[in-house]
């Protein structure tokens, strides 16, 4: 089987099912697991460079969408060379990656039309169903069922540990920093399983734009910063460089020292197996009512925002 995955979460699912050797090409956003390094890349962005700030990326996306310009390109020649018989694409977000509509012209360049599997889960359960769908399409049904059983069991263990919790902290999950967006889709569900209560964002609904006043009014006990597609290091850099002038002392979470930067790229942006890793990270972070002495891998306590607190 020759598989081309144009969605990072699907690429991780393919790897988890033991099918890495069947991958013949991926998208420009597919970077995990490390074993896929060196595979041909058949897509590319028309948007700002990967070093651009949240504001620069948002401006570029807004300008291109306003004139109907595409955000991504498909290298039809590279796709034809890859010669897939199975192609995986997403229809969750037209800003985040290639959608089925982008494929029509590229598919005409292929000598034989591949089977196209579309994934688009917006809740944990729907992501698990996408795993089963990929398992069925690749002849790895049992492996997919085993993987989903394990992921569900891990979620249930977290749920059971948190079931007796009486105080559930209010949590704001920031998915973009300029302008501010709060996370929707599966992220509020992860927060709830981990013992918190997501405010502003809605489970199963798209991420949405909010104002600074909205965030202040929400009075979050915990602020989680997880920009879509940003690594932990890039998130920390963005916080330091782009947001220092904000009146951070207005946020209760900042005053209490409970602000965490997270690896959104690895654990929260991608609908794949590592969402459950993100859940387990959240469970650790939301257990604290005071700034912790340490954080799990993939998370960092943000201490410098307290420098903005007026005394």
Q: What is the CATH number of the domain that holds 294?
A: 3.40.50.1980
- The sign one gets for the Cα dihedral 173, 300, 235, 243 is positive
107/47 same-domain check: yes
Q: Are residues 10 and 94 in the same domain?
A: yes
Diameter over CA atoms, the chain: 69
301 shares a domain with 173: yes
Q: What is the mean pLDDT of residues 106-125?
A: 90
Structural domain tally of the chain?
A: 2
Residue 283: inside a domain: yes
Taking Cα atoms as reference points, which of 15, 23, 19 lies closest to residue 39?
23
pLDDT value at residue 49: 62
Residue 251 lies in a domain: yes
Containing domain of residue 21, as a range?
3-120
Give mean pLDDT, residues 90-96: 78
Mean pLDDT, the chain, as a whole number? 92
The answer to whether residues 56 and 180 belong to one domain is no
Q: Is residue 262 part of a domain?
A: yes
152 found inside a domain: no
Q: Domain check: are 107 and 175 in the same one? A: no
Look at residue 156 and tell me if it is in a domain. Answer: no
Q: How confident is the model at residue 244 (pLDDT cuts 50, 70, 90)?
A: low
Whether 261 and 232 have beta carbons less than 8 Å apart is answered as yes
Is residue 211 pLDDT above 60, yes or no?
yes
The answer as to whether 90 is a domain residue is: yes
Give the pairing of strands 86-90 and 3-5: parallel
The owner of tokens 């089977």 is 115
Contacts of 250 (CB under 8 A, 6+ apart): 212, 216
Work out the average pLDDT over 280-301. Answer: 94
CA atoms within 13 A on the CB side of 184: 15
Across 127-152, average pLDDT? 98
Statement to judge: residues 202 and 278 lie in one domain: yes
Average of per-residue pLDDT across 80-103: 84
Which range has the worst mean pLDDT, 22-36, 49-63, 131-145? 49-63
Give the mean pLDDT of 95-112.
Answer: 77
Are 202 and 271 members of one domain? yes
The predicted pLDDT at position 311 comes to: 44
Cis peptide upstream of residue 179 (ω within 30 degrees of 0): yes
Query: What is residue 29's predicted lDDT score, i.e. its pLDDT?
Result: 93
């Amino acid at each position: 089987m020759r598989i081309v995955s144009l969605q990072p979460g699907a690429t991780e699912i393919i790897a988890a099912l033991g099918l890495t050797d069947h991958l013949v090409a991926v998208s420009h956003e597919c970077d995990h697991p490390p074993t896929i390094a060196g595979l041909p890349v058949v897509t590319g962005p028309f948007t700002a460079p990967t070093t651009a700030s949240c504001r620069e990326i948002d401006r570029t996306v807004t300008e291109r969408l306003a004139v109907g310009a595409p955000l991504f390109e498909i290298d039809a020649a590279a796709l034809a060379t890859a010669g897939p018989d199975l192609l995986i694409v997403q229809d969750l977000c037209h800003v985040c990656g290639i959608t089925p509509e982008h494929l029509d012209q590229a598919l005409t360049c292929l000598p034989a039309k591949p089977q196209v599997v579309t994934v688009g889960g917006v809740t944990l359960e729907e992501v698990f169903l996408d795993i089963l769908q990929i398992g069925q399409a690749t002849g790895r049904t049992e492996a997919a069922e085993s993987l989903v059983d394990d992921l569900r069991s891990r979620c249930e263990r977290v749920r059971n540990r948190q079931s007796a919790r009486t105080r559930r902290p209010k949590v704001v999950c920031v998915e973009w920093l300029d302008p501010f967006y709060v996370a929707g889709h599966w992220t509020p569900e992860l927060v709830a399983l981990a013992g918190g209560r997501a405010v502003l964002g809605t489970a199963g609904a798209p991420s949405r734009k909010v104002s600074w006043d909205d965030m202040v009014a929400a009075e979050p006990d915990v602020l989680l910063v997880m920009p879509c597609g940003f690594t932990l290091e890039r998130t920390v850099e963005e916080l330091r460089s782009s947001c220092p002038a904000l009146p951070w002392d207005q946020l209760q979470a900042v005053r209490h020292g409970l602000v965490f930067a997270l690896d959104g790229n690895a654990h929260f942006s991608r609908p794949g197996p590592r969402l459950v890793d993100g859940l387990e990270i959240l469970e650790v972070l939301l257990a604290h009512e005071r700034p912790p002495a340490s954080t799990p891998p993939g998370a960092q306590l943000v201490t410098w925002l307290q420098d903005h607190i007026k005394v």
